[in-house]
Structure 1
């Protein structure tokens, strides 16, 4: 029997014990495929929108596999700076650089015998993609400053909320790396496709919070549960629902939780037409307050130059951010790279202008 292979077909896993709750058919199909992937020691790519539970799925994949006794090591690929890339991934030998006073394992060495989870692999820089590609080919690597190659007994699991094929077409992701990581693929459906699961998840979150905070039992009121059964957009998916329940739990004065579900069930995400459509050509009256008899002055004529300039900059920023997000299909890491800004600064600008990536995800589809 090959190493890291499970002998017999296992019974249905205890998914709730792995923090994966749901009975919707789309979700159950993903779980069934996840169970199949756990039985073979191959690279897996987990796909899905942000907040759909990709890291939980990766952990389940690990703990259901023959590698369950080994370590599970997650790494956020978007937080891998090129300046220390090799040391972070492959480790370093003593004396490799000024402060290297002893040997150090990188994340690959830490994952020996277990699973290395590459989260947000779409956010990897070209240099990082090349490094991971070399390792993915034969699992050999050389720690920084070392003279010999080492071999790692590690399973790679990657996750993305982007369409990697589109990134390949745009020259932003290596096609050969996509082939290497996409041996097996599991899609985690968004919460809006998991009919009936929102109420089930919310109740599971309440039970976990009761244990976490060691409180008396609490429950969600009937009205909130009824609203959870109605179709909603859930742009933040399961993570959005979890935060909603957590907030209600912390603010509840008694045993009953009232969820702030806002107004409307679903419909479309925010309309972005006003952002994406080009402004109409300026009229003579807008350029020259004396044109057409001078009765219609420019909208900015009654404010200072500094205020008008600030408003113009704000309008430009919003249109530019929206255009970049549209091109990136709502992927913040990719959009930040296109804009040439650090991800944290780019996200701060997005929040400043009240833009929500969900609308751009929908447009990308």
Structure 2
């Protein structure tokens, strides 16, 4: 049984007894150390990974952080009691792993195993057969990759699928967050029931409760029949909330209330109903940072932040690009009933050196376009970085300008340059531009209109290029 140092910044005897019971069940022998003693003596943690237990009593956060090296933070799990209102998200995210207590025992095991796997360097001499089986399992779910970072992500998805708790998936646009959510659903116990996805950025605030909770007949003027909400449709299955960070304050309150009670009331109904669903949320923003900035409710964040998953960007798994490209081109051949095509070696090398701001989605869109427009059996083409599209620049003279005037000029110039660059890069495709920029489609359209940018001009130029 592995020894685990437990630095207890909590006076609660209940916490001591709970962890004394739970940790041995997970294969760890707890070694408790008083937080005061640890701070005063600057004790070195003897175990490979360390557990920090934070209670309601306010201890100096700066002193705790100063006592830990970045390396130690990277192998420590911060467990914060739900009573500890003073321990905010900004503090906890300084640790690579943190969790709000009480939580599911499986969640605690998952985070400790992840730290231990990281400390061991991820090497398991008996893992080759398991790894091959893992790849085969996720290949069937169209999640393709063999790189170390992506394999670790697949392994974590498989673990998360077996824990029926809320999940927060973070990652850049185009990294496959919805595919990961679907994998969690279809590998879990709820696989025989619905998977209901919803884009929170496209959910009108005035229709929020109707979309989520449904309505009864006669609830409002046009309610000629009863309509179930998404929560009812997802009952016993999974509700996937994409772009969770775009929820308005009102929407966050409504969702929090449901997550707390699992009860909801359709519009026009007198009584409450219950729903048994698993909630998976996704965002391309740093949600903990938005909490620290007051842009997202902390209590909702902790309701969602039970199991977490971060999807790696494509530039961090470039060894997968050849496999992904081959897989996508084979799929296009089957989809369009055309001969198979492959990439020329120099084109493949260019793909591996490109930064991929749109990640796997950008790669897929690029290969699909070139497969359809190129008649050659071997594909050779230029990447967006070599088409003359420059990154947006802001060159404003600040001479004799008040701060606010200069700032407004820079913002206007930046928006105009960025939107023109975005339209040229996406060839006037608003939906793709919204995905790449992380903006809601309607909001992006308003910005384009404000700056007088003609979308059709970019579509016309792309037609000429393809001619």
TM over 0.5: yes
Q: 1:149 aligned to 2:281?
A: no
Separation in 2 of the partners of 1:44 and 1:250? 38
Q: Which structure's residues are more often strand, by fraction?
A: 2
Q: How big is each residue's C-alpha offset from its partner over 1:158-181, in whole Å with a ceiling of 9 and x where there is no partner?
A: 000001122112221111110001
Unaligned stretches of 5+ in structure 1? Answer: 284-312, 324-329, 355-365
Q: Does 1:174 align with 2:297?
A: yes
Q: Which runs of 5+ in 2 are unaligned?
A: 1-105, 107-129, 402-407, 419-435, 456-467
Q: TM-score, normalised by structure 1?
A: 0.74
- 1:252 matches 2:360: no
What count of residue pairs does the alignment treat as equivalent?
A: 301
Aligned equivalents of 1:35, 1:27: Cα separation in 2: 12
SS of the residue 2:228 aligns to: coil
Is the 8 Å Cα contact of residues 123 and 333 (structure 1) preserved in structure 2?
no
Find 1:32's aligned residue among 135, 138, 155: 155
Note the C-alpha offset of 1:84: 1.2
Shift of 1:278: 6.2
Q: How does 1:88-103 map to 2 (within 5 A)?
A: 88-103=211-226
Q: Which has the higher contact order (CA 8 A, sep 6+)?
A: 1
| 1:259–1:136 Cα change, 3 Å | farther
Distance 2:147 2:259 in 1: 35
User: Which residue in the other structure is 1:200 paired with?
Assistant: 323
Measured after TM superposition, the shift of residue 243 of structure 1 is: 0.8
Q: Which residue is equivalent to 1:309? A: none
Using the size of structure 2 for normalisation, the TM-score is: 0.59
SS at match of 1:51: coil
Contact 1:44/1:185 (CA < 8 Å) preserved in 2? yes
C-alpha separation between the residues in 2 aligned to 1:193 and 1:202?
16
**Aligned match of 1:279:** 397
Give the CA deviation at 1:316. 5.4
Mark the CA change 1:45 to 1:349 in structure 2 (over 3 Å): closer, same or farther: farther
Equivalent of 2:309 in 186, 196, 201: 186
* Residue 139 of structure 2 is aligned to residue 16 of structure 1: yes
User: In the alignment, what sits opposite 1:239?
Assistant: 361
CA pair 342-101 structure 1, distance change in 2 beyond 3 A: same
Q: CA RMSD in A?
A: 3.2
Distance 2:411 2:316 in 1: 35
**Residues 167 and 173 of structure 1 are in contact (CA less than 8 Å); yes or no, is this contact kept in structure 2?**
yes
C-alpha spacing 1:352/1:235, structure 2 compared with 1 (3 Å): farther
Distance, in Å, in 1 between the alignment partners of 2:153 and 2:335 is 28
Give the deviation of 1:349 after TM superposition: 6.3
Equivalent-residue separation in structure 1 for 2:326 and 2:286 (angstroms): 32
1:77 matches 2:200? yes
Structure 2 counterpart of 1:288: none
Matching residue of 1:360? none
Q: Give the Cα separation in 1 of the matches to 2:278 and 2:445.
A: 30
Q: After superposition, give the CA deviation of every residue in 1:17-56 in whole Å (9 maximum; x if it has no partner).
A: 2111111111111111111000011000110000101011
CA distance in 2, matches of 1:184, 1:346: 36
Q: Rate the CA distance shift 1:350–1:66 in 2: closer, same or farther, 3 A.
A: farther
Corresponding residue number in structure 2 for 1:345 = 446
Which residue pairs with 1:62 in the alignment?
Answer: 185
